[in-house]
Amino acid sequence: MDPETITINDQLVKLPKHVAIIVDGNGRWAKERGLTRMQGHDAGFKNLKKLANHIFDRGIKVASFYVFSTENFKRSAEEVGHLMDIFVILCRRELKTFMKNNIKVVFSGGDAPLPQKVIEARDWIAEQTKNNTGGIINFCLNYGGRAEIVHAVKRIAAEKSADEIANLTEQDFSKYLYQDLPDVDLMIRTSGELRLSNFLLWQNSYAEFYFPKTKFPDFSADDFDQALVEYTLRDRRFGGIKNA
Ligand code: IPE
Ligand code: IPE
Ligand code: MG
Protein backbone atom coordinates (compact mmCIF):
# COMPACT_ATOMS: atom_id res chain seq x y z
CA MET A 1 0.00 0.00 0.00
CA ASP A 2 1.23 3.48 -0.84
CA PRO A 3 2.19 5.60 2.17
CA GLU A 4 -0.10 8.51 2.81
CA THR A 5 0.87 11.69 0.98
CA ILE A 6 0.14 15.38 1.55
CA THR A 7 0.91 18.54 -0.37
CA ILE A 8 3.35 21.12 0.99
CA ASN A 9 3.93 24.23 -1.16
CA ASP A 10 2.55 22.40 -4.23
CA GLN A 11 4.91 19.49 -3.64
CA LEU A 12 3.62 15.99 -3.03
CA VAL A 13 5.24 14.69 0.16
CA LYS A 14 5.16 11.21 1.74
CA LEU A 15 4.12 11.04 5.35
CA PRO A 16 6.16 8.85 7.67
CA LYS A 17 4.07 6.95 10.21
CA HIS A 18 6.64 7.35 12.96
CA VAL A 19 9.08 10.26 13.22
CA ALA A 20 11.77 10.16 15.90
CA ILE A 21 13.78 13.23 16.85
CA ILE A 22 16.96 13.59 18.89
CA VAL A 23 16.55 17.11 20.19
CA ASP A 24 20.22 18.06 20.26
CA GLY A 25 22.16 21.31 20.44
CA ASN A 26 20.39 23.21 23.21
CA GLY A 27 23.69 23.75 25.05
CA ARG A 28 25.59 25.03 22.02
CA TRP A 29 22.64 27.21 20.99
CA ALA A 30 22.80 28.87 24.41
CA LYS A 31 26.58 29.23 24.40
CA GLU A 32 26.50 31.06 21.05
CA ARG A 33 24.20 33.60 22.66
CA GLY A 34 26.06 34.01 25.93
CA LEU A 35 23.23 32.23 27.77
CA THR A 36 23.38 29.37 30.26
CA ARG A 37 22.78 25.73 29.27
CA MET A 38 19.61 25.88 31.35
CA GLN A 39 18.32 28.73 29.17
CA GLY A 40 19.18 26.60 26.15
CA HIS A 41 16.98 23.81 27.47
CA ASP A 42 14.15 26.26 28.16
CA ALA A 43 14.34 27.40 24.53
CA GLY A 44 14.54 23.79 23.35
CA PHE A 45 11.39 22.76 25.18
CA LYS A 46 9.50 25.80 24.00
CA ASN A 47 10.37 24.73 20.49
CA LEU A 48 9.48 21.10 21.16
CA LYS A 49 5.90 22.10 21.99
CA LYS A 50 5.57 24.08 18.75
CA LEU A 51 7.15 21.37 16.67
CA ALA A 52 5.03 18.58 18.16
CA ASN A 53 1.87 20.52 17.25
CA HIS A 54 3.15 20.99 13.73
CA ILE A 55 4.03 17.30 13.33
CA PHE A 56 0.54 16.19 14.36
CA ASP A 57 -1.03 18.94 12.24
CA ARG A 58 0.75 17.41 9.27
CA GLY A 59 -1.07 14.15 9.96
CA ILE A 60 1.81 12.12 11.37
CA LYS A 61 0.52 9.59 13.91
CA VAL A 62 3.55 8.80 16.07
CA ALA A 63 6.34 11.14 17.18
CA SER A 64 9.17 10.14 19.51
CA PHE A 65 11.36 12.75 21.17
CA TYR A 66 14.65 11.84 22.84
CA VAL A 67 14.63 14.25 25.74
CA PHE A 68 16.94 12.59 28.27
CA SER A 69 19.25 9.62 27.87
CA THR A 70 20.39 7.22 30.59
CA GLU A 71 23.84 8.73 29.96
CA ASN A 72 22.65 12.32 30.53
CA PHE A 73 22.78 11.70 34.29
CA LYS A 74 26.53 12.26 33.91
CA ARG A 75 25.84 16.01 33.59
CA SER A 76 26.03 18.53 36.45
CA ALA A 77 23.44 18.35 39.23
CA GLU A 78 22.26 21.81 38.22
CA GLU A 79 21.62 20.85 34.61
CA VAL A 80 20.03 17.49 35.43
CA GLY A 81 17.84 19.16 38.08
CA HIS A 82 16.74 21.84 35.65
CA LEU A 83 15.78 19.28 33.02
CA MET A 84 13.85 17.25 35.60
CA ASP A 85 11.94 20.41 36.57
CA ILE A 86 11.15 21.03 32.90
CA PHE A 87 9.70 17.51 32.55
CA VAL A 88 7.44 17.98 35.58
CA ILE A 89 6.21 21.36 34.31
CA LEU A 90 5.67 19.99 30.81
CA CYS A 91 3.49 17.14 32.11
CA ARG A 92 1.46 19.40 34.37
CA ARG A 93 1.00 22.35 32.00
CA GLU A 94 0.51 20.66 28.67
CA LEU A 95 -2.29 18.27 29.60
CA LYS A 96 -4.86 20.71 28.21
CA THR A 97 -3.13 20.85 24.83
CA PHE A 98 -2.76 17.08 24.59
CA MET A 99 -6.43 16.59 25.47
CA LYS A 100 -7.55 19.26 22.99
CA ASN A 101 -5.48 17.66 20.22
CA ASN A 102 -6.48 14.11 21.23
CA ILE A 103 -2.83 13.06 21.70
CA LYS A 104 -1.86 10.08 23.83
CA VAL A 105 1.32 10.69 25.81
CA VAL A 106 3.57 7.69 26.45
CA PHE A 107 7.11 7.33 27.80
CA SER A 108 10.02 5.07 27.05
CA GLY A 109 12.66 4.62 29.72
CA GLY A 110 13.33 3.23 33.15
CA ASP A 111 12.36 4.58 36.57
CA ALA A 112 15.61 4.69 38.57
CA PRO A 113 17.27 7.11 39.11
CA LEU A 114 14.50 9.53 38.12
CA PRO A 115 13.25 11.71 41.00
CA GLN A 116 9.88 10.61 42.38
CA LYS A 117 8.20 13.86 41.26
CA VAL A 118 9.14 13.12 37.63
CA ILE A 119 7.86 9.54 37.85
CA GLU A 120 4.59 10.79 39.29
CA ALA A 121 4.10 13.57 36.72
CA ARG A 122 5.03 11.16 33.91
CA ASP A 123 2.61 8.45 35.04
CA TRP A 124 -0.10 11.01 35.68
CA ILE A 125 -0.14 12.48 32.17
CA ALA A 126 0.13 9.01 30.61
CA GLU A 127 -2.91 7.91 32.58
CA GLN A 128 -4.91 11.08 31.76
CA THR A 129 -4.29 10.78 28.02
CA LYS A 130 -4.40 6.99 27.62
CA ASN A 131 -7.70 6.94 25.72
CA ASN A 132 -6.75 9.65 23.20
CA THR A 133 -6.68 8.41 19.63
CA GLY A 134 -5.47 11.30 17.42
CA GLY A 135 -1.75 10.55 17.70
CA ILE A 136 0.96 9.30 20.05
CA ILE A 137 3.81 11.33 21.50
CA ASN A 138 6.52 9.11 22.93
CA PHE A 139 8.96 10.88 25.26
CA CYS A 140 12.18 8.95 25.60
CA LEU A 141 13.07 10.01 29.11
CA ASN A 142 15.80 8.24 31.06
CA TYR A 143 16.01 6.19 27.88
CA GLY A 144 18.77 3.97 26.54
CA GLY A 145 18.39 1.68 23.54
CA ARG A 146 20.55 -1.06 25.03
CA ALA A 147 18.80 -0.82 28.39
CA GLU A 148 15.47 -1.19 26.56
CA ILE A 149 16.59 -4.38 24.83
CA VAL A 150 17.95 -5.88 28.07
CA HIS A 151 14.71 -4.92 29.83
CA ALA A 152 12.68 -6.68 27.13
CA VAL A 153 14.84 -9.82 27.34
CA LYS A 154 14.36 -10.00 31.11
CA ARG A 155 10.59 -9.65 30.82
CA ILE A 156 10.43 -12.33 28.14
CA ALA A 157 12.56 -14.69 30.25
CA ALA A 158 10.30 -14.11 33.25
CA GLU A 159 6.98 -14.46 31.41
CA LYS A 160 7.48 -17.01 28.68
CA SER A 161 8.07 -20.75 28.65
CA ALA A 162 11.18 -22.29 27.08
CA ASP A 163 9.01 -23.43 24.21
CA GLU A 164 7.61 -19.94 23.59
CA ILE A 165 11.13 -18.49 23.74
CA ALA A 166 12.36 -21.03 21.18
CA ASN A 167 9.62 -19.86 18.80
CA LEU A 168 9.89 -16.14 19.55
CA THR A 169 9.68 -13.90 16.46
CA GLU A 170 10.93 -10.36 15.92
CA GLN A 171 7.32 -9.21 16.10
CA ASP A 172 6.83 -10.94 19.45
CA PHE A 173 10.01 -9.31 20.73
CA SER A 174 8.80 -5.82 19.72
CA LYS A 175 5.85 -6.16 22.07
CA TYR A 176 8.23 -6.28 25.02
CA LEU A 177 9.91 -2.97 24.29
CA TYR A 178 8.92 -0.02 26.50
CA GLN A 179 6.17 0.88 23.99
CA ASP A 180 4.67 -1.17 21.21
CA LEU A 181 4.99 1.37 18.37
CA PRO A 182 5.55 1.03 14.63
CA ASP A 183 9.16 1.09 13.41
CA VAL A 184 10.68 4.52 12.94
CA ASP A 185 10.44 5.75 9.34
CA LEU A 186 12.31 9.03 9.68
CA MET A 187 14.93 9.76 12.35
CA ILE A 188 16.08 13.37 12.69
CA ARG A 189 18.99 14.54 14.82
CA THR A 190 19.51 18.27 14.98
CA SER A 191 22.79 20.15 15.60
CA GLY A 192 24.99 18.34 13.08
CA GLU A 193 26.02 15.36 15.23
CA LEU A 194 26.10 12.19 13.13
CA ARG A 195 25.36 9.48 15.66
CA LEU A 196 22.50 7.64 17.35
CA SER A 197 23.69 8.01 20.96
CA ASN A 198 21.78 4.88 22.04
CA PHE A 199 18.44 6.04 20.56
CA LEU A 200 15.74 3.51 19.59
CA LEU A 201 18.29 0.93 18.46
CA TRP A 202 15.66 -1.69 17.64
CA GLN A 203 13.04 0.63 16.13
CA ASN A 204 15.50 2.59 13.94
CA SER A 205 16.57 -0.58 12.13
CA TYR A 206 15.35 0.63 8.69
CA ALA A 207 14.73 4.31 9.42
CA GLU A 208 15.85 7.02 7.03
CA PHE A 209 18.29 9.35 8.81
CA TYR A 210 18.30 13.13 8.45
CA PHE A 211 20.94 15.29 10.11
CA PRO A 212 20.25 19.02 9.85
CA LYS A 213 22.96 21.36 11.21
CA THR A 214 20.36 23.57 12.90
CA LYS A 215 20.43 23.41 16.69
CA PHE A 216 17.19 22.24 18.20
CA PRO A 217 15.82 25.55 19.58
CA ASP A 218 15.98 26.95 16.02
CA PHE A 219 14.61 23.86 14.26
CA SER A 220 11.36 25.25 12.84
CA ALA A 221 8.19 23.90 11.25
CA ASP A 222 9.64 24.82 7.83
CA ASP A 223 12.84 22.91 8.64
CA PHE A 224 10.73 19.91 9.56
CA ASP A 225 8.82 20.16 6.27
CA GLN A 226 12.17 20.19 4.50
CA ALA A 227 12.96 16.89 6.21
CA LEU A 228 9.69 15.48 4.82
CA VAL A 229 10.67 16.60 1.32
CA GLU A 230 14.04 14.89 1.69
CA TYR A 231 12.36 11.76 3.11
CA THR A 232 10.08 11.63 0.06
CA LEU A 233 13.13 11.52 -2.22
CA ARG A 234 14.66 8.55 -0.44
CA ASP A 235 14.32 5.14 -2.06
CA ARG A 236 13.45 2.76 0.77
CA ARG A 237 14.34 -0.70 -0.40
CA PHE A 238 14.37 -2.73 2.83
CA GLY A 239 16.91 -5.04 1.28
CA GLY A 240 14.85 -5.55 -1.87
CA ILE A 241 15.43 -4.43 -5.45
CA LYS A 242 15.29 -0.79 -6.55
CA ASN A 243 11.78 0.11 -7.55
CA ALA A 244 12.48 2.75 -10.22
C1 IPE B 1 20.11 18.17 24.01
O2 IPE B 1 20.90 19.29 23.95
C3 IPE B 1 19.12 18.25 25.11
C4 IPE B 1 19.22 17.23 26.13
C5 IPE B 1 20.21 16.41 26.38
C6 IPE B 1 18.08 17.18 26.96
P7 IPE B 1 22.33 19.23 24.60
O8 IPE B 1 22.23 19.65 26.01
O9 IPE B 1 22.97 17.91 24.38
O10 IPE B 1 23.08 20.35 23.76
P11 IPE B 1 24.59 20.32 23.29
O12 IPE B 1 24.79 19.04 22.52
O13 IPE B 1 25.44 20.36 24.52
O14 IPE B 1 24.72 21.53 22.44
C1 IPE C 1 21.51 12.54 23.02
O2 IPE C 1 22.21 13.73 23.00
C3 IPE C 1 20.47 12.56 24.08
C4 IPE C 1 19.44 13.58 23.97
C5 IPE C 1 19.34 14.50 23.07
C6 IPE C 1 18.43 13.51 24.96
P7 IPE C 1 23.58 13.94 23.77
O8 IPE C 1 23.98 15.34 23.53
O9 IPE C 1 23.46 13.49 25.17
O10 IPE C 1 24.54 12.90 23.01
P11 IPE C 1 26.11 12.86 22.83
O12 IPE C 1 26.72 12.88 24.21
O13 IPE C 1 26.50 14.07 22.05
O14 IPE C 1 26.37 11.60 22.10
MG1 MG D 1 24.11 17.15 22.90
pLDDT in tens, 63-117: 999 999 999 999 999 999 999 999 999 999 999 999 999 999 999 999 999 999 9
pLDDT in tens, 186-228: 999 999 999 999 999 999 999 999 999 999 999 999 999 999 9
What does the angle CA 69 – CA 74 – CA 76 come to, to the nearest 5 degrees? 115
Which of 21, 22, 29, 74 to mutate for ligand 2's pocket (most ligand atoms within 8 Å of CB)? 22
| Cβ 157 vs Cβ 150: under 8 Å | no
CA–centroid distance, residue 9 to ligand 3 (Å) = 32
d(CA 242, CA 55): 29
Is pLDDT of 135 > 80? yes
CA–centroid distance, residue 212 to ligand 1 (Å) = 15
- The secondary element (H helix, E strand) that includes residue 93 is helix 77-93
Domains, the chain, ordered by start: 14-144+183-233 (3.40.1180.10)
The answer to whether the CB of 197 is under 6 A from ligand 1 is no
d(CA 214, CA 99): 30
Whether the pTM exceeds 0.95: the reply is yes
- Partners of 13 in the beta sheet? 6
